[in-house]
Each structure stands twice: as C-alpha cells, then as structure tokens.
Chain A
C-alpha cells in the first residue's frame, strides 16, 4: 500500500503546525470523528517535537511524515535521519517528558523503530470508526494503553517511561514504583521469539491505585518462560512477589502474561 500523504520538511518548530494541519485535513477527509482527529493532532505533534528537539544534535535535518489509509484505520509514520532514540530525563526539558506517554495514551497502537545512527521512525495507528468495539473483540477498557515495540534495546526505555508516568499518576510510593520498574525490566529483556508476532506487545490499564499489565499475544509456552525468568537463581526468591497477582491466561488461542501491581 502506497502512502496517501508524504511530507518532507526541515525539522524546525515552526513546521510542526504544518504537519499537524495536513494530517488533520487528511483524517477529516477520511471520515475520522473530531475527537480522534484531536488525538491524532496531539500524537503527530509530539512525534514531530521529538524530532525537532532531539534528532539532530548539530545542524539541521529533515522530518518525514507519511500517512496511509487502509481498511478501517489511518497509520501515520514520523521519521528522521538523526542520532537515534535516546529518551532521558535531561532531554525532557520543558515538555515534562510526557510526549511519549501522550502518544501511547492517545493512539490505538504505536511502534518505534530505529537505533543509534540509523534515525528513528515512530508509527501510530488510529481507527477511523470504532470498528474494534463493534466487532466485539476483547476490549478490557476504553482507556487501555497499548504499545508495540521492536524487540531489543528500544523496549526498556519506552516501557520504563510509560510505567514511570502511569505509576506516578497513580501515586505509587517510591518503593512500589521501584518494584514496578523491576518487573518492567524483566519483561523488557525477553527474546523476540517469545512474542507471537515477533514484536513486543504490552497493554496497560491504570485503575484505582493499580496497574494491570498484559503482555502478549505470546508464543506457546512463553508465559511460563517469562515467569521462570522472574525467579532469582539460588536465592529461592522471585520477582513474582513484587506483583499483587501474576498469571498466564489463554484467550482466543493466544497466551498472555497478566501482572497486577499496586501502589
């Protein structure tokens, strides 16, 4: 499928509104409702802000944006040719470091690809109609955060930032925040072939002082392998104790690891 919209501009702050408006126009023309257009504008803006602020350490480079409309959704991809994805507290600056959590919260799914010196691309998908709900597929909660990341070095920084933001919002204590990050680290280090689609998929629901984390769909037996990986060799202990509940669930012929952590 070829892109329905391709943009290439210098990565400057004044160009972000241009990209945002172009995407809004495309989405409205495709029939997206006003609320989702608003979400799309925020996601595209935050992705472009990352490029403007962080991609090119010296000088200037391009920002490329493409959008494809197909089936029941719109997928937008923001690319740069910069230094790779290096989220850090120092980089967050005045934006509070909430750009990525906003992208995660407002898109139906998103993925980040790239590496040091290879540039970075961030893709986000938006349903044009609430078709997933209408189809009656499992939808744990309307506010669920879903992330997809290529296995490897990107998983840990992305998941850590998201868990950190959600745990802070849920007012976790420092100790419980640390426990949550340890569990996130353990999940981050899984191999690509533990995941059925070869991509790390994690969904998070934040409730009343708790985070429900769903990892998967997983390859057959991967849930138990991840659980075993939480055990501490020779100590008789396990990181499982850091979660309120840990279980492996089968649903629609797929395996999921479910973790509940409380603040």
Chain B
C-alpha cells in the first residue's frame, strides 16, 4: 500500500479495519470520508488504524471525529487504533485532545473489541 492510500481489511469477526498509510491531508480526506460513510451505512463495525500513518492534518481529524459521531448515531461500532506512533500523528492527537475524545486505543485488538461492543449500542 502506498503513502496516501487507505487499506480496507474485512475481519472474520465481523469488523472492517481501515488502515491509514503514509501521509493524509486535505487531498485524501474525501476518499477516507467516503469509505467510512459507506461502512457505517452498511452497518459494519469500523476500526481505523493509524499505526502506519506518518502524517495527518486537521481535515483527517475532522473526518474521524465526524465518522465517530455518525457511527454512534447509527449504532455502529467505531474505534481508532494507534499501536505505533509517527511523531507528527501523535503530536496532533495529543495537542487537540482527540486521543482522549475519539478515543484512540493503543492496539488494534483493543480497538476492535470496542467497535464490536459498541455495535448495536447507540449513543
């Protein structure tokens, strides 16, 4: 997967991992938003994995926060994972307070457990 691309991995446990690879910004935000909206509309629990992201900007943060809200309203599980942190990604998550607000889990396993737990549990 090249930088700026999004990988979709359907898991046997019934959730989809959206892997954010490389650098993502205003230019790639619409594609990411489209993937997330489709998964939420289909009722698929979503885990967004930032572990291989090397850069994200405020448009990506806004996209993730909106998806989190949309998923919550739809009763679809949504969670974010960051097992390893690129400096630029870690810094913006911490400074904006979104590590706590999204929240961001420190492993894909933790995030998937949260996504599966929250599915069918609106609000």
Contact = CB atoms under 8 A, between A and B. Distances in A.
Contacts of B27: 13-14, 16-17
Chain B contact residues (Cβ within 8 angstroms of A): what range? 20 to 34
Nearest to A170: B97
A102 B96 contact: yes
B97 A169 contact: yes
Contacts of B61: 95-96, 98
Nearest to A48: B26
Nearest to A14: B27
Interface in A75-125: 93-96, 98-99, 101-102, 105-106
Given A14-B27, A16-B25, A94 B59 contact: yes
Contacts of A20: 23, 25, 55
Contacts of B62: 93-96
Query: Interface of chain A, helix or strand or loop or mixed?
Result: helix
A39 B91 contact: yes
Contacts of B41: none
A150 interface: no
Interface string B13-30: 000000000010111010
Contacts of A95: 26, 57-59, 61-62
B1 interface: no
A49 B29 CA distance: 12
Query: Interface of chain B, helix or strand or loop or mixed?
Result: helix
Interface in A44-69: 45-46, 49, 52-53
A41 interface: yes
Contact of B87 (A38, A93, A102): A38
B21 to A, nearest CB: 14
**Which of A16, A41, A42, A53 has the largest count of B CB atoms less than 10 A from its CB?**
A42
Contacts of A102: 58, 92, 95-96
Nearest to B65: A96
Interface in B33-72: 33, 55, 57-59, 61-63, 65-66
Given A93-B62, A105-B95, A38 B88 contact: yes
The 6 closest A-B pairs by CB, nearest first: A38-B88, A94-B62, A13-B27, A38-B87, A95-B58, A13-B26
7 contacts: A13-B26, A38-B88, A42-B91, A94-B33, A96-B61, A96-B65, A96-B96
Given A42-B91, A53-B26, A94-B66, 13 more contacts: A16-B27, A38-B55, A38-B86, A42-B92, A45-B55, A46-B57, A46-B58, A49-B25, A49-B57, A93-B62, A96-B65, A98-B61, A101-B96
Interface of B: 4, 23, 25-27, 29, 33, 55, 57-59, 61-63, 65-66, 86-88, 91-92, 95-97
